[in-house]
Amino acid sequence: MVNASALVFTLLSAAGSLQDPTRPLAGLSQPATGMGEQRIEAAAGPRLQAIFSGGRPSAILDGRRYVQGDTIGGYRLVHIGTGRVVLEGQGKRLELSLFPTFDNTDIQ
């Protein structure tokens, strides 16, 4: 029979090398899309960290909560969707995704 404390110790020592599954992937570049939209890398510009749906959708960017219409570093938050937000400003339209490797198609 395996000692329970030895099993717990083994699991805890292996868990230190795992990536947090709720943290967005970093360092992945995102391909440009058509229609003047631009996807940006996680390290450039604002960083999307979470999206909350419900009564009034909101998003966490760079550690602060924003709702549609708020301004973030010279950009206006124009859309909060499932897994992504759209910002407009400085002559650009930026799309930030929680999961940059997935193709989201919910912008209206």
Ordered structural domains, the chain, with CATH: 31-108 (2.30.30.830)
Residue type, 24: P
Burial class (CB in 10 A: 0-12, 13-18, 19+), 17: exposed
The model's pTM is 0.54
- Give the pLDDT confidence score for residue 28 in this predicted structure: 46
Helix/strand/coil for 8 = helix
Residue type, 58: S
Residue bearing the bigger pLDDT, 73 or 60: 60
**Which is nearest to 47 in space by CA: 85, 11, 8, 10?**
85
- Give the pLDDT confidence score for residue 45 in this predicted structure: 74
Tokens representing residue 44 in the block: 């450039």
